[in-house]
Amino acid sequence: MENNDLHHYKSAKFIKSITSIKEAPAENLSEVLFVGKSNVGKSSLINALTNNKKLAYTSSNPGHTRLLNYFLIDNSFYFVDAPGYGFSAQKDKDYAFYGNMIESYFENNPNLKCVIFLLDSRRIPNEDDILFYNFIKSTQYPYLIVMTKCDKLNMSMKSKIKNNLKNTLNIDNFNEIILCSVNDKKSLLELKNRINQYIN
């Protein structure tokens, strides 16, 4: 069971960047969207799941991903990497642009099979996170909450993180929460298995 490499996707390639759902790839393949605050680790998680550090561009500076980027996985479905919200330099002019882009993506998108909502395990969810979580719930698309950067957490820290979500986001269904680290293959495998349930 130690050979987790066996579970990597076989292929992953960048297809295109879009700003409006009208430009989405024409093939009606299932889509899994990665969303969350800037710098939470969306692009890194896509790279970790596909075992390809160079697939999605990552940065230690927030606001790196600016468009909706489509990656074709195993020639059968798309991972969609979204720009992050809540990046201060983005607040004024770009904010409406980001909002419209994301809203247009969510509107009437039968290909969207699962929304992966990322939260930084090292931070308390803020107002933006709460708003976005409530927005996702209101859309009726299936979703999973992924706590990122859980690199070296023990059991008690993990349960503390989950319990905090009870208070901040009002979540009491811990089944929808997955604790992940790009350095922890077991957590990536668990997430992959959960994603597979939505795209198959």
Ligand X SMILES: Nc1nc2c(ncn2[C@@H]2O[C@H](COP(=O)(O)OP(=O)(O)OP(=O)(O)O)[C@@H](O)[C@H]2O)c(=O)[nH]1
Q: How far lies 54's CA from each of 26, 47, 69, 73, in Å? A: 25, 7, 14, 15
Kindly state whether residue 121 participates in binding Mg ion, applying the rule CB under 5 A.
Answer: no
Kindly state whether residue 42 participates in binding ligand X, applying the rule CB under 6 A.
Answer: yes
Considering only the stretches 1-9, 39-47, 165-173, 188-196, report the one whose residues sit in contact with ligand X under the rule CB under 6 A: 39-47
Kindly state whether residue 43 participates in binding Mg ion, applying the rule CB under 5 A.
Answer: yes
Alpha helices in the chain (DSSP H): 42-50, 93-106, 127-139, 155-168, 185-199
Kindly state whether residue 185 participates in binding ligand X, applying the rule CB under 6 A.
Answer: no
**Which uninterrupted H or E stretch holds 117?**
strand 112-120
**Which uninterrupted H or E stretch holds 70?**
strand 68-73
Kindly state whether residue 84 participates in binding ligand X, applying the rule CB under 6 A.
Answer: yes
Kindly state whether residue 44 participates in binding Mg ion, applying the rule CB under 5 A.
Answer: no
Kindly state whether residue 43 participates in binding ligand X, applying the rule CB under 6 A.
Answer: yes
Tokens at residue 81, please? 């990497």
Kindly state whether residue 50 participates in binding ligand X, applying the rule CB under 6 A.
Answer: no
Kindly state whether residue 90 participates in binding Mg ion, applying the rule CB under 5 A.
Answer: no
Considering only the stretches 25-33, 56-64, 105-113, 160-168, report the one whose residues sit in contact with Mg ion under the rule CB under 5 A: 56-64
Closest by Cα among 143, 166, 151 to 121 = 151
Three-state DSSP class for 113? strand
Binding site for Mg ion (CB under 5 A): 42-43, 64-65
Binding site for ligand X (CB under 6 A): 38-44, 58-60, 62-65, 83-84, 148-149, 151, 181-182
